[in-house]
Amino acid sequence: MAAIRCVFRAEYGRLVAHVLLLLSLAVYSSYGGGCTFPEGWTGSWFQSGNPGLITINKTHIQMKGECYETDSNDKFLLYYRNEDCYRCMVIHEKHKYVLQYKETYCNSKDSLSSMCESITGDASLYSMFRKEPKPVPQPCPFHPAPFTFTYYRGSEECTYPLSRAESCTDDSRLLLRYMACADMLSSESNVEELVCLATWKEGSTRYLVGQISQVQRRNSIASDEDTYRCFIYKGQHTDKTTTYTIAQSADATCNGLSSPMDGSRTMKLTSSDDEHNRCHFPSWIVQHHKWFSLDHTHQYHFTTKNATLKIINEDGSFEERRLVCHSILEQKDKKYIKLVAHVTKGCESGHQCVQFHRRESSVLELQAGGQLADAPHDACAPPHLAAPHVTLITTSLTPTRCPILGRYSVVSSLADRRRRRQQLTIGDEEADEQRAAECVVGDYRSASLGCGHAQDSIEFRSPCSSTVYTCHGAWQAGSKGFVLVYDARAVRPRASCLVYTAPSTNDTRAGTVQQLSLSVMSHSCDRSVQPGVAGDKAYNLTLNGTCEQSSKYSAAVSPAPAVFVLMTSLATLPLR
C-alpha cells in the first residue's frame, strides 16, 4: 500500500512539472509576440566606433534587431531578422541622454534569462550619447568657478604655472585654460571648452558626459569621436575652498575610468573665489533689482546678494553678460561709483572698469566697456579710455521739473528739411486748405518747455500734430545738458534722452535761453551727439516769450497736456 502511494506521488509530481512547463511556455509565447522600448529612447544615438548614428524607435534598434521579449526592466531579447538570430541586450538608461549596454552575440533562440545570463561581468560596456532630438546642455557640476587646476599627463603633473577653469555666462559651459609646464614635454598651453550634457551617480561614483572643443582651433571640424568625453569626478568641500578631482576618458566612451584619480587625463580643480573677493553694488543702485535700457532691449538685473549684474540682450540675440563686483575704487555720496568688475561674456572673461552715475532715483548712467583685462588692477589703469554712457531706467519714472522754461519757435528741424514753402496768412480759406495739405506730422512750429503748473513737460506743436514729453531727471556734462523724457502718448510709449546746448552763462536759474539747439535720442544719452545737428530728431529754437507771457495758451496748455486734450475735445464736441 505504501509502495503504491509512493508511485502515485511520483506520477503526480511529474504531472505538476508538466503543467508548470506548459504554463510557462504559454506565458513565454505571449511575451515573444514583441515588445517596445521606453519612449524616451526614440531618436539617433552616437556610439564610438560606429560609423553613422544608431536609430532607435519604439520597436527597433538599428543593426541590433527588433524588441522580441523583455523582463520589463533592463533585459531585452532582440530578434535580428537579417540573420534570423537572437541576442540579449542589457540596457541601462544612465541619463536621458546616455544609454549603456552589454550584449551577447547573435545566436539561435533561447530563453531571455538564459541568454542574458551568459553575459559576464567583464563583457564590454558600450555607451551611446543622444544626438537627436538634440540634447539640452545641463549645468556643469563644478561650483563655484573660477578654479585653478593642475593636471597629469602620464605620470607627470603640471603644477606651475597653474591652469585655470573659468565659468561661462551659460552654466552648462566651462572654459579650461591649460598652461604649459616648462619641464614637461607632454604639457601644452591650450584652451578647451567643455559643454556638459549629462551627469549621474553610480554608488558613490559621479559621472559626467560632455563635449570638448578646441577654442583656438574652432574652425577645424571636430568629429563626435574627438569631442565626446566621459568623466568621473569627486568634490571635496571645506569652509574656504572646494576641490574637484576629475578623470577624463581617452576616447568617446566611458571605458578605462575607474576612479577620479585614474584616467587618460586627470586634473585637480581648486576654487579660487578669494581672488573674486566680492564687493556689493551700492544700495542706491540695487534698490531697484531690474533696470532697462531706454528702448527696453537690454535688461540689467542685480542678483546674487547684490554682487552680480546680469545684462541680458533681448533684441533677438539673447546674449548675456555677467558682471561680478570685484573691488570698489571710488565713491561719491550716493551719486557716483567706480569699481572693477569681473566680466563674463559667453566663455570670455576678464576685468573691466565700471562706473555708475545716479541722475535721479530711477535714472542711472553706466559706463563699462573696452578690453577685458586679465589682472583686476589693470582694468581702470591708464590709458583707460572712457566707455560710452548707457542710460538705465526703471519701470517707474517720477516726473521732475524740466531744466529749461519758456515758449520757443522752431527755427529749423531735422524733420523740416523740406522747409516751409511759403508764409501763410491765417483766416484765408484757400491758405488753410493749403496749410492742411502741407502740414507734415512731426513738422513742429513751436515748443513750450516746462510751462504749466508742474513745469514737468515739454510740448512740440504744429498745426496738425503735437508731441508731449514729461521730464524725469536732468543733468549737465560739460557744455551739454541732458533730460530724460518720456512720451506717454506715443503708440509705443517710450523713454528718450534729450540733449541740448547748455547755456554758457549763469542764467540757468531763470531757465530761459535765447537760442536753443536740441536733439532727441532714442538709444541712450550719447555724449557724441551734437545738439540740433544729429540725433533721431533735432531742432533749433529761438525764444518767443516766457511761459507766463503765453497767457493765451497757458490756460489751455496747463496743467497737464493730457488734460488739455480732454478739455478741447469736450469743448468742441457738443458744438458739432
Ligand X SMILES: *[C@@H]1O[C@H](CO)[C@@H](O)[C@H](O)[C@H]1NC(C)=O
Binding region for ligand X (CB under 6 A): 57-60, 62, 283, 286-287, 305-306, 409, 412-414, 445-446, 504-506, 517, 532-533, 538, 540, 544-545, 550
In terms of CB distance, is 262 or 548 closer to ligand X?
548
Non-local (6+) Cβ contacts of 372 within 8 A are 343, 348, 349, 350, 351, 352
In terms of CB distance, is 320 or 416 closer to ligand X?
416
d(CA 570, CA 381): 63
In terms of CB distance, is 95 or 435 closer to ligand X?
435
In terms of CB distance, is 67 or 354 closer to ligand X?
67
Give me the residues paired with residue 276 across strands.
none
Q: How far apart are the first and last CA of the chain?
A: 126
In terms of CB distance, is 184 or 286 closer to ligand X?
286
Nearest approach in angstroms of CB 77 to ligand X is 17
Nearest approach in angstroms of CB 79 to ligand X is 12
Of the candidates 275, 243, 276, 277, the residue with the CA atom closest to the CA atom of residue 260: 243
Non-local (6+) Cβ contacts of 156 within 8 A are 184, 186, 187
In terms of CB distance, is 327 or 517 closer to ligand X?
517
**Burial class of 440 by CB neighbour count within 10 A (0 to 12, 13 to 18, 19+):** middle
In terms of CB distance, is 103 or 416 closer to ligand X?
416
Nearest approach in angstroms of CB 259 to ligand X is 39
Strand 156-167 and strand 43-47: pairing?
A: unpaired
In terms of CB distance, is 236 or 479 closer to ligand X?
479
Which residue's C-alpha cell is 561581468? 121
Determine the 3-state secondary structure of 19 from DSSP: helix
Nearest approach in angstroms of CB 81 to ligand X is 9
Strand 348-360 and strand 494-501: pairing?
A: unpaired
**144 neighbors 242 (Cβ within 8 angstroms):** yes
Residue type, 413: S
Nearest approach in angstroms of CB 109 to ligand X is 21
Nearest approach in angstroms of CB 288 to ligand X is 9
Nearest approach in angstroms of CB 401 to ligand X is 21
**177 neighbors 164 (Cβ within 8 angstroms):** yes
Q: Which residues of 444-468 are buried (b: 16+ CB within 10 A; e: fewer)?
A: bebbbbbbbeebbbbbbbbbeebbb
d(CA 284, CA 229): 47
In terms of CB distance, is 128 or 165 closer to ligand X?
128
Residue type, 46: F
Nearest approach in angstroms of CB 270 to ligand X is 26
**469 neighbors 486 (Cβ within 8 angstroms):** yes
Nearest approach in angstroms of CB 540 to ligand X is 4
d(CA 85, CA 574): 94
Number of residues in the chain: 576
